[in-house]
Structure formats: C-alpha cells, structure tokens
Amino acid sequence: MIQLHDLQFEPYIDNAAIKQRVAELGAEITQRYAGKQPVFLIVMKGAFMFAAELLQHVNLPCTLHFTKVQSYTGTKGGAIASFEGIPQGLEGKDVIIVEDIIDSGNTIAFLLPHVQVKHPASVTTVALLQKKIHRENNVHADMLAFEIPDVFVVGFGLDYNQLGRNIPAIYAVKEV
Ligand code: IMP
Ligand code: MG
C-alpha cells in the first residue's frame, strides 16, 4: 500500500508484467516500421517512463521529440490547460505519439490536428494504458499495452497531483 497526499493506492500491475508487455509492443513497432525511420512524439510528463522502457525495444533508427499537454488536476480530467509545441520537420515522417494513458481521449483529440497540419506520412498512437469507457470523440490507441477499467492509477510515470511518477509499478486508488 502507498499513500500519496490524501489517497491510498494498492498494487495493480507489477513491474515484470509491464516490462514484458512493453517489450512486446516494442517488437510490434519494430516490425510495423521496418525500413522506416519513425519520429516518436512523447507526451510529457506522464509518458516519460513508458517511453524510456518502450524505446529500448524499438530496434530501428528513430528520432524523439517531447511535447507537453496538461489537463488533469487531482483525479479528474478537464480542459487542456497548457500545451508546449509540436516540433518542426514532421513533413513526410511517420509519427508515433507516445501517451501514458488514454482516459477521455481529449489529449490525443487535441494533439492529432496539431500533428496532421504538418503533413506527416502517417500518425499512430501508442499508449501504456487505456480506460475502458465510452468516448464521444472515438479516440483509441492504435497500439496499447493494457486496457483497464475506469479506475484512477499512479506509477510508471503517472501521477496524483505530481506524486507517484517514480513508482516502478502501477497502483490503483483504494476505494474508501
Ligand atoms: P485524457 O485527455 O482524458 O485522455 O487523459 C489523458 C491524461 O490525463 C493522461 O496523459 C494523464 O496524464 C492523465 N490521466 C488520465 N487518467 C489518469 C489516471 O488514472 N491517473 C493519472 N493520470 C491520469
Ligand atoms: Mg499525461
């Protein structure tokens, strides 16, 4: 059990299971993009640990960029609060957006048009987690490590008001 601010969290997906599944995703990307040189667009801060793990299993020449989109406060989503740019030079490139978790899908729905106006050859999304909920915007990860129910989770990059990102496994909030 872990306490962060006022909430308690219990183990949900352990480090070994994450590593195994992420290695599979890396192999899938390696296969799908064989002969190409993809550009990874990593959504900070949450995706930092997932990206670090995933990229070690991508056996291709590739480049990385970081973008920052912030919407969440506490355990609730909301409107996009801050956004730090899309890099130059995506034209004709195969872009892979790397996200920690797809919840409402608002972040990806917000980001996609900003990437598409740069005229990349292709755009796909890879996510560590995706919540199994109904989404009006119909957004979903093209490649996904784990689908989870609608629970609030922390760890492996994900935070609760900025705490918990360093935890090497995924923990779910304990219902009180
Ligand atoms: P969306 O825009 O609603 O899809 O949410 C995406 C962002 O909200 C993610 O990149 C996370 O930063 C944050 N988020 C959504 N669900 C959770 C959660 O369960 N724990 C921690 N952060 C979350
Ligand atoms: Mg995030």
Look up the pTM and report it. 0.96
Q: Which two tokens stand for residue 35?
A: 């002969």
Concerning whether 14 is annotated as a catalytic residue, the answer is: no
Residue nearest atom 17 of ligand 1, based on CA coordinates? 152
Position 82 scores a pLDDT of: 72
Q: List the catalytic residue out of 14, 94, 103, 150.
A: 103
Q: pLDDT digit of tens for each residue in the chain (176 aa)?
A: 999 999 999 999 999 999 999 999 999 999 999 999 999 999 999 999 999 999 999 999 999 999 998 887 788 887 777 787 899 999 999 999 999 999 999 999 999 999 999 999 999 999 999 999 999 898 999 999 999 999 999 999 999 999 999 999 999 999 87
In ligand 1, the atom with minimum distance to the C-alpha of 158 is: 21
By the 8 A CB rule, do 108 and 102 touch? yes
Protein residues with CB under 6 Å of any ligand 1 atom: 46, 71-72, 77, 99-107, 152-154, 158-159
Going 68 to 118 to 41 to 13, the CA torsion angle's sign is positive
